[in-house]
Amino acid sequence: MALFVGANDVVNPAARTNVSSPIFGMPILNVADAKSIIVLKRGKGAGFSGVENDLFVAPKTSILFGDASQSLIQLGAEVKAT
């Protein structure tokens, strides 16, 4: 499982897979390799590059919108409760 906060472009698989993308060739984190992914974001906006992130629409990705610090507190409470 991968949990990440905010950063759009540094986890966008298009940097490896889409040769026509302006971020192609940029080093990224291997978040897309995780079995399950949780993204914490404030909104649906694109990253600094303006490129949509394919990771956000992947079937194994869940997005939790809101303030990341509060979302992490909520997630921690849920994990402790199970």
Render pLDDT for 24-42 as a digit per residue (tens, 0 to 9).
999 999 999 999 999 998 8
Confidence of residue 18 (pLDDT cuts 50, 70, 90): very high
In this prediction, residue 44 carries a pLDDT of 78
Q: Is the pLDDT of residue 9 over 80?
A: yes
In whole angstroms, give the CA distance from residue 54 to residue 20: 14
Q: Tell me whether residue 67 is one of the annotated catalytic residues.
A: no
Q: DSSP per residue over 63-81, as a string?
A: EEES-HHHHHHHHHHHHHH
Predicted local confidence at residue 6, as pLDDT: 76
Residue 48 binned pLDDT confidence (cut-offs 50, 70, 90) = confident
Domains of the chain, CATH where assigned? 2-81 (3.40.50.1220)
Q: Is 78's pLDDT higher than 80?
A: yes
**Which of 9, 33, 54, 67 does the annotation list as catalytic?**
9
